[in-house]
Structure 1
């Protein structure tokens, strides 16, 4: 009986991949906070997972180390796992990130190194990332180097605007002739009396239609935060919560795809 259920599970997984002609890729923006806010993260200041979103928003306040996991649509085979660290120095902020998506049949891996600095109210950053894609068996693999850039500005004490562009050097996997995803995202956040944070992004991937992303984060009581968000193209809804203290924080979020179902994500951050 268990064997039959396992076979049906794999058949369902295969049907989903066949029905949707858009290639399956891992999440680009990491972190359960960003997921809970509809992935609207371009203007989120001091975001712990900024190296995967807008590197210009990496925090200069303290060293952070984070770990993140996301199970896409309930399938073990479509799992994102990531780790990130930011280290402030007197020359700017250094960031490091690692991300793996998939299983032995198909997987993607990214290793990222970022540098961020600022001049007056302008924040800017550059990220170098090594991308590797692998197919099971003897179907091939390949690697490519990409460059991302990010910029942000504090317009007022409560209003931030940010933008990032990925893979500006137009890299591609040489052996399998596939280009890496390229997009540009612009967004802002507005903080209302430290009670709520409103975020809105506009994203354009060169391969897909314009996507609009919005989210709200609300302070429920000291240390506890609630979040909701929505994303278009594809349409998805999300929500979650976070709780943190001075030296640590934990965030949980669930995203609901209009057709594929639920994707739960969890991250843990340590601060030094």
Structure 2
């Protein structure tokens, strides 16, 4: 029975591009095909907790993904960041799937910025459920960081499941361990170009490239590509005062279209 559970879980996760460590969230990230490793905003809680220390105010956010027009593959997520002088704490919730098959994640993280470097550590409670078989849970640790090399160049890194968490000690099935590294080139305040590589220890590397351009004040356009499978993305953002509205459209070469919309509110001090 356990063999069937884990085999079914991993097969479903692979076929429908489920999470297993890939929990990117937010229209800004999606509009750049997930090339968001060096961003320092509230969505860093999901994209790279290394950017959490760069958040300068309390904030709350939520996002929704409609994947391939299939209700059973939808994603919902939400979170909040608390800013303080000693660092920033974040809490988030993420769910993929429906009552038949689902992955849920509750995430706690703490990050801080010291001069030009921000670092963060997080703990995730992951729950996998197949309605006809049952539920299993695991704890995973993640670590991330962002360094400003100079005013125009940033380097980011992130590792998910640092502790090599197992779904079951008898079968030795593990939560995938995923490592990311990337650079961000920002020749001006209006333009950002990101290049990243992502490696699951059990699969080929994934390469990502994304661009964000501020057209006018508070209005942004984005585009990006990703490999394995090939994915092209486009997005727009409108950030008036302390609100952020972002939308992204992407197309998975295997399965089809993905729409994502997200909103965030910043509590200005």
* Alpha-carbon offset, residue 116 of structure 1: 0.5
Which of the residues 133, 140, 158 maps onto 2:128? 133
- Match of 2:5? none
Determine the C-alpha separation between the residues in 1 that align with 2:25 and 2:186: 22
The answer to whether structure 1 residue 198 and structure 2 residue 227 are counterparts is no
- Match of 1:56? 50
Q: Specify the SS of the correspondent of 2:186.
A: strand
Which of the residues 258, 261, 267 maps onto 1:266? 261
Tell me how large the CA RMSD over aligned residues is: 1.9
Q: Specify the SS of the correspondent of 2:150.
A: coil
Which of the residues 136, 158, 163 maps onto 1:142? 136
**Are 1:126 and 1:148, in contact at CA under 8 Å, matched by a contact in 2?**
yes
Structure 2 regions of 5+ residues with no counterpart?
1-9
- Match of 2:153? 159
- Match of 1:13? none
Q: Deviations over 1:135-169 (max 9, x none)?
A: 113x0110000000001111111211110000010
* Alpha-carbon offset, residue 23 of structure 1: 6.4
Q: Specify the SS of the correspondent of 2:45.
A: helix
| Divergent runs of 4+, >4 A | 17-24
Determine the C-alpha separation between the residues in 1 that align with 2:79 and 2:13: 31
Which of the residues 196, 200, 203 maps onto 1:208? 203
TM-score, with normalisation over the residues of structure 1? 0.89
Please identify, of 46-55 and 108-117, the stretch whose mean Cα deviation from structure 2 is larger. 46-55
Aligned residues: 254
Structure 1 regions of 5+ residues with no counterpart?
1-16
Residue correspondence of structure 1 range 88-237 to structure 2 within 5 A? 88-137=83-132, 139-174=133-168, 177=171, 178-237=173-232
Determine the C-alpha separation between the residues in 1 that align with 2:118 and 2:13: 39
**Are 2:12 and 2:18, in contact at CA under 8 Å, matched by a contact in 1?**
no
Determine the C-alpha separation between the residues in 2 that align with 1:248 and 1:205: 35
Determine the C-alpha separation between the residues in 2 that align with 1:21 and 1:56: 27
Which of the residues 1, 18, 37 maps onto 1:25? 18
Determine the C-alpha separation between the residues in 2 that align with 1:21 and 1:152: 29
Determine the C-alpha separation between the residues in 2 that align with 1:60 and 1:30: 16
Determine the C-alpha separation between the residues in 2 that align with 1:103 and 1:19: 13
**Are 2:16 and 2:73, in contact at CA under 8 Å, matched by a contact in 1?**
no
Q: Deviations over 1:193-215 (max 9, x none)?
A: 21211111111011210110000
